[in-house]
Amino acid sequence: MSDFINVGILGLGNVGAGVVRLLSEKRTIIEKRVGKPVRITKGVVSNLTQKRGLDLSEIQMSTNPEHILNDPDIDIVLELIGGLSLAETIILTALKKGKSVVTANKALLAEKGSIIFPAAHDAPGFFGFETSVGTAIPIIRTLREGFAGDEILKISGIVNGTSNYILTCMAQEGMEFEDALEKAQEKGLAETDPTLDIQGIDAAHKLIIMMNIAFNGVFDFSELYIEGISDITALDIRYTSQLGYTIKHVAKAQTTKAGIEAHVHPVLVPRDHILSSVNNAFNSILVLGEFMGSSNLYGLGAGPGPSAVAVMGDIVEACRYIQTGQQRPISPFSIPLEAWTPRQLVPMETIRSEYYLRFHVRDRLGVLAFISRILAKYRISVRSVIQTGEPTKKENPVDIVLITHEAVEADIQTALEEIKGQSFIAGRTQLIRIEAE
Ligand SMILES: NC(=O)c1ccc[n+]([C@@H]2O[C@H](COP(=O)([O-])OP(=O)(O)OC[C@H]3O[C@@H](n4cnc5c(N)ncnc54)[C@H](OP(=O)(O)O)[C@@H]3O)[C@@H](O)[C@H]2O)c1
């Protein structure tokens, strides 16, 4: 056995550079915990001439992944490139070659989990993916080991720091969405192309990965209902605040009598709800277990520091397996492969929720009565109403804001479709679901 644990790193961007810095600054502590020095001997990037502000003098660099994959001395492969196709090849090849693999690639695990996880299950090496969800929040280990003795009933959380930062700016500074997005980009909290974050796709990737572990099954990413935050307006933030709510972007999955329902979208949470006070780029994940009750994990869900710590946690665990010579680490998703079966989600149209509805209407006699009648036709009862705006002239647009009692999603959608065609409608109708508990 070598005197060192040798690591090959693919990708020296936000996460990879953080790992190199962390290992260089915490080398002694990590060596004590592992019992052997851990060193990065090889690295792969796409641009070798790029200045990175890192000491790479002891790392042999290349642009070719085979530089690492074909080296028999590399014990642990870090896939920190991102994307789907190349990352998939790298992970599958490394696993086949018996190496331990650590990845942060939530998109790949969410969309190709049915290929990656079984391969990891059958491979002799350790497979770590803690960084893929919540980074410095150790939710993967918590679900897989800490809560392995309980039946998980619900996971709900704020798992995208960019969206949460934008919503926080809108709530605290009265900004419109576009201005808050620009501020997030200036602060380095949103990518130049923020689509994955603001459309809810990144949060959905993380939800699917957590569901695979919590509910012991393979869920199809394409079945998940996903809505982002780009349609939320400063006006909605103001109205919902008057009603005692905060708007948050929440990823949620829960067991119901009909099966497992899961969705990712903005929600109104009561101001005294624990998620209401999760602000800026922080993440928080609530897990409800049958015996344990509710547990809350909170921390920074992105950034070089938190990501590097999460990757390093997986490296240390991999080192422990390598040190003890264990050939078959625990399953990546807490149950044997045979029991890991495809699971279907309850269709979104059948879920029940309370709703915030904002109609932008021309001020005419009988509009509220008409809307109430259509809602009643589809079994939707109204809990409270606010009519706003001081039209100076008849027909000037005003907002009618309604909070409904619990209703079925399909009924709400059909009712809104019927109302949409009316001549008094002066703009887009806003719908935000309400988180009751
Ligand atoms: N950023 C976060 O806070 C965070 C948190 C959790 C998880 N993650 C995940 O971590 C992964 C990496 O994210 P990141 O933010 O570090 O990305 P990034 O800053 O874009 O870095 C990507 C790195 O991969 C290299 N790379 C890309 N394509 C390559 C190719 N074809 N061949 C060789 N090298 C290639 C790039 O090389 P060059 O530098 O030469 O261009 C760069 O060093 C992603 O899966 C992401 O979802 C990120």
Q: Which position among 99, 106, 206, 248 bears the catalytic label?
A: 206
Instruction: Identify each DSSP E strand in 176-281 by its residue range.
Output: 217-219, 225-226, 245-256, 259-270
Model confidence over 372-381: pLDDT tens digits?
999 999 999 9
More confident residue, 204 or 114: 204
Does residue 259 belong to any structural domain of this protein? yes
Does residue 374 belong to any structural domain of this protein? yes
Model confidence over 41-59: pLDDT tens digits?
999 999 999 999 999 999 9
- C-alpha of residue 15 to centroid of ligand 1, in Å: 7
Query: Is residue 390 very low, low, confident or very high in pLDDT (cuts 50, 70, 90)?
Result: low
Beta carbons within 10 angstroms of residue 95's beta carbon: 22
- C-alpha of residue 86 to centroid of ligand 1, in Å: 12
Does residue 150 belong to any structural domain of this protein? yes
Contact call for residues 364 and 424 (beta carbons, < 8 A): yes
Half-sphere exposure of 416 (CA within 13 A, CB side): 21
State if residue 14 touches ligand 1 by the CB under 6 angstroms criterion.
yes
Query: Is residue 426 very low, low, confident or very high in pLDDT (cuts 50, 70, 90)?
Result: very high
The per-residue pLDDT for 394 is 65
**Is residue 420 located within the same domain as residue 371?**
yes
Domain containing 394 equals: 350-434
- The tokens describing 29, both together, are 């502590």
What's the rounded mean pLDDT across residues 139-144?
95
The per-residue pLDDT for 393 is 60
Q: Is 186 exposed, middle or buried (0-12, 13-18, 19+ CB in 10 A)?
A: exposed
- C-alpha of residue 65 to centroid of ligand 1, in Å: 14
Q: How far is CA 184 from CA 132, 170, 300, 330, in A?
A: 21, 11, 15, 39
Instruction: Give how many domains the chain has, as a whole number.
Output: 3
Model confidence over 142-191: pLDDT tens digits?
999 999 999 999 999 999 999 999 999 999 999 999 999 999 999 888 88
DSSP 3-state assignment of 404? strand
State if residue 135 touches ligand 1 by the CB under 6 angstroms criterion.
yes
**Is residue 151 located within the same domain as residue 20?**
no
- C-alpha of residue 383 to centroid of ligand 1, in Å: 48
Of 318, 339, 360, which one is at a domain's C-terminal end?
Answer: 339
State if residue 81 touches ligand 1 by the CB under 6 angstroms criterion.
yes
Q: Which atom of ligand 1 is nearest to the CA of 81?
A: 24
Contact call for residues 19 and 78 (beta carbons, < 8 A): yes
**Is residue 155 located within the same domain as residue 217?**
yes
User: Taking 60 as the threshold, does the pLDDT of residue 392 lie above it?
Assistant: no
In this structure, the residue with its CA closest to atom 15 of ligand 1 is 14
**Is residue 152 located within the same domain as residue 277?**
yes
Q: Which atom of ligand 1 is nearest to the CA of 82?
A: 45
Contact call for residues 263 and 225 (beta carbons, < 8 A): yes
The per-residue pLDDT for 323 is 87
The per-residue pLDDT for 327 is 61
Does residue 344 belong to any structural domain of this protein? no
Q: Which atom of ligand 1 is nearest to the CA of 135?
A: 6
In this structure, the residue with its CA closest to atom 23 of ligand 1 is 11
User: Taking 80 as the threshold, does the pLDDT of residue 330 lie above it?
Assistant: no
**Is residue 114 located within the same domain as residue 163?**
no
- C-alpha of residue 170 to centroid of ligand 1, in Å: 29
Whether 106 is catalytic is no
The per-residue pLDDT for 337 is 82
User: Taking 80 as the threshold, does the pLDDT of residue 388 lie above it?
Assistant: no
**Is residue 122 located within the same domain as residue 171?**
no
State if residue 50 touches ligand 1 by the CB under 6 angstroms criterion.
yes
State if residue 100 touches ligand 1 by the CB under 6 angstroms criterion.
no
**Is residue 115 located within the same domain as residue 172?**
no
pTM higher than 0.75 for the full model? yes
Does residue 117 belong to any structural domain of this protein? yes
Query: Is residue 272 very low, low, confident or very high in pLDDT (cuts 50, 70, 90)?
Result: very high
In this structure, the residue with its CA closest to atom 31 of ligand 1 is 46
More confident residue, 304 or 335: 304
The per-residue pLDDT for 191 is 83
Instruction: Identify each DSSP E strand in 180-292 by its residue range.
Output: 217-219, 225-226, 245-256, 259-270, 282-289
What's the rounded mean pLDDT across residues 319-327?
83
**Is residue 403 located within the same domain as residue 321?**
no
Beta carbons within 10 angstroms of residue 418's beta carbon: 14
Distance CA 170, CA 176 (A): 6
Half-sphere exposure of 290 (CA within 13 A, CB side): 9
Q: Which atom of ligand 1 is nearest to the CA of 303?
A: 3
Does residue 345 belong to any structural domain of this protein? no
Q: How far is CA 347 from CA 153, 228, 323, in A?
A: 18, 19, 47
Does residue 383 belong to any structural domain of this protein? yes
More confident residue, 364 or 54: 54
Contact call for residues 135 and 310 (beta carbons, < 8 A): yes
The per-residue pLDDT for 190 is 85
**Is residue 263 located within the same domain as residue 311?**
no
- Which alpha helices (H) appear in 339-385, and where do they start and end? 367-377
**Is residue 167 located within the same domain as residue 315?**
no
The per-residue pLDDT for 397 is 86
**Is residue 269 located within the same domain as residue 166?**
yes
- C-alpha of residue 4 to centroid of ligand 1, in Å: 26
Of 291, 312, 339, which one is at a domain's C-terminal end?
Answer: 339
Q: Which atom of ligand 1 is nearest to the CA of 10?
A: 34
DSSP states of 39-84: EEEEEE-S-TT---SS--TTSEEES-THHHHT-TT--EEEE-S-SS
Nearest 5°: phi and psi at 116? -70, -50
State if residue 46 touches ligand 1 by the CB under 6 angstroms criterion.
yes
What's the rounded mean pLDDT across residues 295-300?
96
The per-residue pLDDT for 338 is 83
Model confidence over 10-27: pLDDT tens digits?
999 999 999 999 999 999
CATH code of the domain covering residue 420: 3.30.70.260
Does residue 154 belong to any structural domain of this protein? yes
CATH code of the domain covering residue 328: 3.40.50.720
**Is residue 88 located within the same domain as residue 168?**
no
State if residue 37 touches ligand 1 by the CB under 6 angstroms criterion.
no
What's the rounded mean pLDDT across residues 328-333?
68
CATH code of the domain covering residue 199: 3.30.360.10
What's the rounded mean pLDDT across residues 92-116?
96
